Amino acid sequence: AKDEKVIINVASKEYSSVLSKKLLPEKTRIVEISFLQQEGNDLKQIVVHSKKARGLMARFIIKNRLNVAEDVKAFGYEDYFYYPQLSSENKWVFVR
């Protein structure tokens, strides 16, 4: 929806857990972002890489002045790419 309010959450679970959803405008959608690294046949979340990737994504959003949530899926810094097979409407996964 054109008037939909969306928060792209690149914060760690530790920080985002303090977000009071009750204080947000009604029908605000929160999209959780996660970053995974391929190791052999497995996809793993490696804290140090995820932390850096969260910062890179925040920079990408700000630098490109993104105001359409779907545009975030174009994020491609440091070989990350949007991975639709593991993503859902409110959880977007990026893999490298």
* Mean pLDDT score of the chain: 92
| pLDDT (0 to 100) of residue 36 | 97
> 70 burial class (0-12, 13-18, 19+ CB within 10 angstroms)?
exposed
- Which of 10, 14, 5 is closest to 72 using CA atoms? 10
Rounded to two decimals, the pTM is 0.89
Angle at 63 between CA 60 and CA 64, to 5 degrees: 80
| pLDDT (0 to 100) of residue 49 | 96
Domain segments of the chain as ranges: 6-95
The string of pLDDT tens digits covering residues 37-83 is 999 999 999 999 999 999 999 999 999 999 999 999 999 999 999 99
